[in-house]
């Protein structure tokens, strides 16, 4: 096992995919690399609308530049600290946040990996990476471990605004899924664990993101967040998990993100102010929970 900080890493740009490519080619690439990267696959206006809605909940801690980009206005914070626990339930209660991943544009991309009959996990995640919190970013990990998931589960991550190399980009270790689930050890940062990284694994794939870029990654693909070293820029993104319908799903994935540790953050409180019932409790009765 080799520590990331103890050796030089090589960063190469993502291999670009297009949703209009032949399905067999996309699935072959996904199985070979462990990810698919679709630049500007979601309408930028849709992403900016969701970003604005989220930023309304983050005021006064995070505000906007004149161009609408998120900037830190108060002290930095990280996932699970007091400020984060204050603002995160407000985001989780947003109808637009949860329904975002049920839109046709996102469903079409998930279909490329999991087929027409796929299941979107109800656990939706918003990521808020503020500057000046070096060491609190998400360490290298596999969702197969953290979500107790099998090989048919995948993650889908969307950039809600442009993200440059100072802002804590999400980066993946290509082909890392081929060896299965790895041992983990305790680490600082989101999740509290890091998976094993082998000495020869020095090449990571990452690119600057544009608003609407989408990254889909295999459940066993190792991925991490780079530190946000910007002066005041904040990176805000959203993600969830999905699988082919009927694949085994661990029961905690049907709970709200961090609902297990934030009092009052449950589905009844999340759904209370929604205008539509279409995506409320859609996950009840899923046939293969464990």
| Structure confidence by residue, pLDDT tens digits, 138-181 | 999 999 999 999 999 999 999 999 999 999 999 999 999 999 99
- pLDDT, residue 4, reads 61
pLDDT digits (tens, 9 = 90+) for 236-268: 999 999 999 999 999 999 999 999 999 999 999
pLDDT per position as a tens digit, 185-226: 999 999 899 999 999 999 999 999 999 999 999 999 999 999
Nearest to 153 by CA among 161, 162, 144, 145: 144
- The whole-number average pLDDT for the span 47-58 is 98
pLDDT for the residue numbered 1: 39
The pLDDT of residue 2 is 44
Backbone angles phi, psi at 279, to 5 degrees: -110, 20
Q: What percent of the chain has pLDDT over 70?
A: 98
Band of residue 8 on the pLDDT scale cut at 50, 70, 90: confident
What is the model's pTM? Answer: 0.96
HEC per residue, the chain: CCCHHHCCCEEECCCECCCCCCHHHHHHHHHHHCEEEECCCCCHHHHHHHHHHHHHHHCCCEEECCCCCEEECCCCCCCCCHHHHHHHHHHHCCHHHHHHHHCHHHHHHHHHHHCCCEEECCCCEEEEECCCCCCCCCCCECHHHHCCCCCCCEEEEEECCCECCCECCEEECCCHHHHCCCCEEECCCCCCEEECCCCCCCEEECCCECCCCEEEEECCCCEEECCECCCCECEEEEEEEEEECCCCECHHHHCCCCCCCCCCCCHHHHHCCCCCCCCCCCCCCCCCEC
Residue 235 has pLDDT above 60, yes or no: yes
pLDDT at 3 over 90: no
pLDDT of residue 289: 96
The yes-or-no verdict on residue 227 having pLDDT over 90 is: yes
- Cβ neighbour number for residue 289 with a 10 Å cutoff: 13
Going by pLDDT thresholds of 50, 70 and 90, the confidence category of residue 7 is low
């Amino acid at each position: 096992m080799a520590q990331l900080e103890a050796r030089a890493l090589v960063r190469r740009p993502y291999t670009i995919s297009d949703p209009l490519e032949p399905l067999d080619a996309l699935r072959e690439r996904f199985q070979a690399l462990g990810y698919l990267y679709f630049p500007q696959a979601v309408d930028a206006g849709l992403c900016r609308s969701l970003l604005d809605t989220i930023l309304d909940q983050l005021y006064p801690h995070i505000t906007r530049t004149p161009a609408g980009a998120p900037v830190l206005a108060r002290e930095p914070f990280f996932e699970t600290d007091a400020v984060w626990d204050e603002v995160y339930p407000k985001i989780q209660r947003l109808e637009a946040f949860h329904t975002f991943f049920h839109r046709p544009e996102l469903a079409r991309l998930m279909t490329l990996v999991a087929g027409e009959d796929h299941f979107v996990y109800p656990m939706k995640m918003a990521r808020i990476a503020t500057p000046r919190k070096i060491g609190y970013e998400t360490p290298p990990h596999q969702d197969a471990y953290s979500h107790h998931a099998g090989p048919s589960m995948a993650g889908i991550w969307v950039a809600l605004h442009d993200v440059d190399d100072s802002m804590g980009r999400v980066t993946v270790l290509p082909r890392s899924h081929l060896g299965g689930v790895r041992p983990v050890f305790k680490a600082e940062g989101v999740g509290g664990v890091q998976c094993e990284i082998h000495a020869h694994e020095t090449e990571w794939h990452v690119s600057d993101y544009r608003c609407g870029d989408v990254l889909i990654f295999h459940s066993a693909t190792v991925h991490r967040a780079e530190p946000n070293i910007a002066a005041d820029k904040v990176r805000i993104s959203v993600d969830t998990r999905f699988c082919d319908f009927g694949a085994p799903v661990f029961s905690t994935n049907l709970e709200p993100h961090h609902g297990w540790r934030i009092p009052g953050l449950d589905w009844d409180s999340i759904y209370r102010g929604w205008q539509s019932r279409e995506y409320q409790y859609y996950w009840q009765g899923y046939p293969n929970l464990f």
